[in-house]
Each structure stands twice: as C-alpha cells, then as structure tokens.
Amino acid sequence: MAIQYTYHPDHLKNSEPIYTSVSSLKRGEMVFNIGPQHPSTHGVLRLEVVTDGEIVKEVIPHIGYLHRCFEKHAESMPFNQTIPYVDRMDYMSAMNSEHAYAMGVERMLGITDQIPKRVKYIRVLVAELNRIASHFVAIGTYGLDIGAFTPFLWLMRDREHILRLLEWTCGARMLYNYIWIGGLYYDLPLQFEERCAEFSAYLKPKLEHLETLLITNKIFIERTAKVGVLPLDLAVNYGVTGPMLRGSGLKYDLRRVDGYSVYPELDFDIPIGTGAMGTVGDCWDRTYVRMQECHESLKIIDQCLTKLTHELKRDKDFNPRALVPKKIRPKAGDYYVRAENPKGELGFFFRTDGRSDIPVRCKARGCSFVNLSVLPEMSKGVMISDLIAIVGSLDLVLGEVDR
Amino acid sequence: MNADLIFDLLKASFGQKVLQINLNDQPQSIEITAQENRELFTFLRDDDRLYFDMLSSITGIDNGPEVNTMEVIYNLYSIPFDLHLMVKIKFDRETPLVPTVSDIWKTANWHEREIFDLLGIRFEGHPDLRRILLPSDWEGHPLRKDDILQERYHGIKVDY
C-alpha cells in the first residue's frame, strides 16, 4: 500500500519550525533556508541562515530528515544482523564502519587476538580502499561546490575503479556487509591482489594530477585558504575528529593512538594541517589533509598486498568464516569502542545483559554528527559563498548525521 | 593512570558524590550522583593529572518501568594522557532531570539534544533544548521502553 499523506499547510511549519523569531530581526537582516534539497548541502541538510546582505550572522542547522532509527533497530536484532544498518549510516565508507563495528563486538567477546592475520589484513585493505573512495567524494564534491567541475569527474572515474574492486569482493557497490563479526563473508576473489596492485600503480600518478589540478590551483586556494578557520582548542572542545581535527594541526589518528587491528605493523604517516596557504585549520588545510591521506592509504594498501601475496598467501583450505560465532553473547556490561573512519572517530556504545544476543542499548557516535555541530561557531560573520566552502570542507554524510 | 586511581582522586575531592567503580566495563566506569555534579566534570576536564579534554559520546539509557531508573553515560577521553573514562549517572525515571555539561564540553550540546529527543531526559541549564532528529511535532520519545507510537503522523500510518 502506498503511504498515505494528508496535506495540511501547517505541517511544514510544525514539523521543523524556523528557530529565529522574525520579529527580533534587525533592519536589513533576512532569514532564509539553504536546503534540505540543495546540491551543496551534500544531502538532506537544512541550514537556516540569518544574513545581513552578504554577511552570515548566524547559521542554525536543522537535521533529522534522514533519520532511520538505527539505535531502535539495533536494540531489536542480534549483533550480526545490525551490520547492514551500520553500512547505511555512513554510506560513503561502509567498509570502515563495518570494520569498526565488527572489531568492537569482537573486543566485547574477547576474540580479537584469535582473528587470523589474513582476515585482519584483508579488512585493512578493503577499509583503506574505501577510505580513498570516501576522500575522493569529499574532495570531488568540494571542488564542485566552489566551481571546479573537472576534478569531480576525474575523481568519480577513479572512485569507480575502487567500487568495482569492492563489488568484486562481495557483490555490492556501496553497502557491502563484507566484514563479519569474527571473520569475512568470503576470502578475496581470485586474482584480486594482482588487480588491486595494478590499480594502486594506476592511481599514484592520478593523485599527482589531482594535486596540480585542484589542490594547488590558484582559484581553489583563493576560495579556501583563510576561510573557515577552526582553532584547535575549539575543535577539541567540540569533539571534532578525523581530517578536520588533523587539519587544525593535531597529530591524532586512532589508527595510531589506539593501534587496533594490524595498523601497528604498517608504516604510514599522519598528515596534519600546517597553514601552508593561510592559517592552520582553514578549509584548504582540511582538504590537503584528505588529499595526503589518500597517499598514505595507498602506502597501506601496497603493504597489505605484499603481505597477502607472501606470508599470508591464499590457501584453499583457509576459511574466513571459521571463527564467526554462532551465538554472539558478550559478558554483561557497558562498552565503548571506537575506530578511525575517513570522517573521524566512529564510536559505538553497547550495553549487554549477558543473557541474549541482542544489545540492551546500542548507540552510534557518528563523526559527521559531531563535526557538523561546530558549523554555527565556524560560520559567524563569513560571506554566504564562504559558508558553502565551509560546509563542503566538513565532509558530511547525512546518513551518519541523522542515523 | 587507571580507573582505580581516578576513583581515589575523585573520592578525595568530592567524597559522597562519587558512588562506585565498575571494573568490568570497557573502559572502566565510575558512577556519580545525578545532582550537582558539574564541579566534578569541570575537575575532570581541568585537572593537570587527568585533562579529559574530549567528550566522545553521551548515551542515555532507559532501564524500563520495572526498574524505574534512567541513566546517562559519558565517555571521556584525555588526548594528552591517552586515558579513557566512563562516567555514569543514574536517576529516577519520574524526574528525568540532570545538569547539562554543554558549557564544559560544547559537543555535549547536540548529544544532550539527541538524548532529550529520543528519551525525554531533560538537561538543566541547556541553552537550546529542542528536538534534533525527530520532527518538532512528534509525540513521545521512542527509545523509552514504554513509549507508545502515535497512530498517525500527518496522516501517515506510523506503525507498520
């Protein structure tokens, strides 16, 4: 049956009313909405903006248009069945979210150390591939927001290669359900390692091209340098994580800080914003950090591929599902687990009662949600065109903001 | 510094306000009283030995009408010392009112709004306690154990 909706003119006003009272506006001030359907809000984000001419006085984000009750769902089904919902939170980097979730549940079960090395390396490999894909969307759509069309097309072309590689592993382009609690859905397909190595060799020069085309482009620098400066103390106080926090100059990456999975064995740097084009923590720094992270992820991918073709070679008796538990019943208690997603710290809070496979409470701490909350602070007194540049540099995925 | 030492430190400064420590949780948790705890949170953030400068997450839990309690759980992290701490507050279900920490950690602003939205817990002193994820004219708080869904929302059947 189709969804029945009774139209009433008051519905819009009542369901998401304007926060600013119009009578309190000063002479020359105006309230208007950017979004929820607007290409540069990257999804269904509605920004209520109070302006005085071209100057933004205040920004009030209205979110929740994509709320799909993740936490309510997670409370009603076993841990392993929640993974597809986790995919749909941050749909740009589903592998990373799955990785975080699966590792969290494994830590609760106390089986982290038993996971075979090959499984861990495959997980890191696909997660890093997905991290590049996510950063490509971030950089590409950011260029699009501020008027650079070509890089977007180039990046989408290269992202498609990644999505096809990942599709090969599990059959889905974006929402994978590939990383399972205790293992993987399948081992990598035959010859995946070779194709992936080819892709890595293909991508390296492309990243250089991108840097000359977009990142060091004069117009791009003019639009982003010294715009939307996020000071470090403010960033930490707002709980901002990921490339945004690193763009503000803190070398803080959970892959190094927590050293989970096989990351301690891998060699990679943590790029940070240095204010090379303007001020530390401006929009350019954040984009530059994302760009550099693609290089670092490629380094990790190469190391994973070396491992997967030598010490941890494919073996036809190897079963990546061998350790997948039949019953997922962690000890009663409260747990907070976290991992580094392309956009920041993805955390899960679980409460379990020790008697059932279903968590009593599961909360997801979305990085986009927290990163968005700093927007009103960053965009006071900027120009409207700069507001678009700031929103783009946050790298929001509304699926994760609204969950 | 582990949770034992943090517990002793807090006990020495705040005495009765610090209730118990639970070593089974990951990270280990400390339960404190629900009232007048803002000084304690400020202490956790500002003390030289702890410096919990990042509030990772706040979770609200409804324990159901039988137990008749609700909880708010804070996950703190100290970037300079790499410390984790879980702080728990338990209070009566009939009077779900806890002091806000949104001026201590700004990130709490939206987390508290989300908890208010989904569980109906009110935060005293919060600057802007509105619904955040659900529409403003939604009835009820869906993560409460005894929440009854409204039958229709704007003519759309809610329960499928």
- Which residue of chain A comes nearest to B87, CA vs CA? A334
The reply to whether A368 falls in a domain is no
Q: Quick check: is A364 in a domain?
A: no
Q: Chain A neighbours among B 41-70 (CB < 8 Å)?
A: 53-57, 59, 61
- Report the alpha-carbon distance of residue B124 to residue B52 in Å, rounded: 22
Contact B133, A67 (CB under 8 A): yes
Tokens of A233: 């103390």
**Domain for residue A165, yes or no?**
yes
Q: Report if residue A69 sits inside a domain.
A: no
Whether residues A16 and B136 touch (CB distance < 8 A) is answered with: yes
The pTM assigned to this predicted structure is 0.91
Which residues on chain A are in Cβ contact (under 8 Å) with B56? 239, 336, 338, 345, 347, 365
Cβ–Cβ below 8 Å for B56 and A369: no
Name the residue facing B59 among A3, A64, A349 (closest C-beta): A349
Question: Which two tokens mark A336?
Answer: 């907070």
The Cα A392–Cα A378 span in angstroms is: 13
B110–A347: do the CB atoms touch at under 8 Å?
Answer: no
- How far off is chain A from B87, nearest CA to CA, in Å? 11
Contact B66/B88 with Cβ under 8 angstroms?
no
Q: Look at residue A269 and tell me if it is in a domain.
A: yes
Q: Interhelix angle for A117-145 vs A283-309, to 10°?
A: 150
CA of A174 vs chain B CAs: smallest distance (Å): 25
What is the average pLDDT value for chain B, to the nearest integer?
87
Which of B23, B82, B154, B159 to probe the A interface (max A CBs under 10 A)? B154
pLDDT score for B151:
84
**For position B91, which CATH number holds?**
3.30.460.80
* 8 A C-beta contact, residue A55 and residue A387: no
A17 contacts in chain B (CB < 8 Å):
136
Q: Give me the number of domains chain A comprises.
A: 1
Determine the distance in angstroms separating the CA of A18 from the nearest CA of chain B, rounded to an integer.
11
CATH of the domain at A319: 1.10.645.10
Contact A19, A46 (CB under 8 A): no
Asked whether residue A235 is assigned to any structural domain, the reply reads yes
Burial pattern A24-60, b for ≥16 Cβ within 10 A else e, equals eeeeebebeebbbebebbbbbbbbbbbbeeeebbbbb
Per-residue pLDDT of chain B (160 residues; tens, 9 = 90+): 777 787 778 778 888 777 788 888 888 888 888 887 888 889 888 888 888 999 999 999 998 888 889 999 999 999 988 889 899 999 998 888 899 998 899 999 999 999 999 998 999 889 988 889 998 888 889 888 888 888 888 888 887 6
Domain that residue A287 falls in: 80-328
A5 located within any domain: no
Is the CB of A363 less than 8 angstroms away from the CB of B109?
no
pLDDT in the model for residue A159: 92
State the residue range of the domain holding B89. 3-157
ipTM over 0.85: yes
How many domains is chain B built from?
A: 1
Residue A41 lies in a domain: no
- Cα pseudo-dihedral B42, B46, B51, B55, rounded to 10: 40
Residues of chain A with C-beta less than 8 angstroms from the C-beta of B45: none
Q: Where are the beta strands (DSSP E) in chain B?
A: 18-22, 29-32, 54-62, 69-78, 83-92, 97-99, 122-124, 152-153, 156-157
Rounded CA-CA distance B4/A401 in Å is 35
- pLDDT at site B3: 77
Digitized pLDDT (tens) for each residue of chain A, 403 residues in all: 566 788 888 888 888 888 888 888 888 899 988 878 877 777 888 899 999 989 999 999 999 888 988 988 888 899 989 999 999 998 989 999 999 999 999 998 888 888 898 999 999 999 999 999 999 999 999 998 888 889 999 999 999 999 999 999 888 888 998 999 988 988 889 899 999 999 999 999 999 988 888 888 898 998 898 888 999 999 999 999 999 999 998 999 999 888 888 999 999 999 998 888 888 889 999 999 999 999 999 999 999 999 989 888 888 888 888 888 888 888 888 999 999 999 999 999 999 988 888 999 999 998 999 999 999 998 888 999 899 899 989 888 888 998 8
- Residue of chain A nearest B29, judged by CA positions: A334
Instruction: Name the nearest CA neighbour of B109 among A357, A34, A376.
Output: A376
CB A362 within 8 A of CB A82: yes
Cβ neighbours of B157 in A, within 8 Å: 3-4
Residues of A in contact with B79 (CB under 8 A): 236, 250, 252
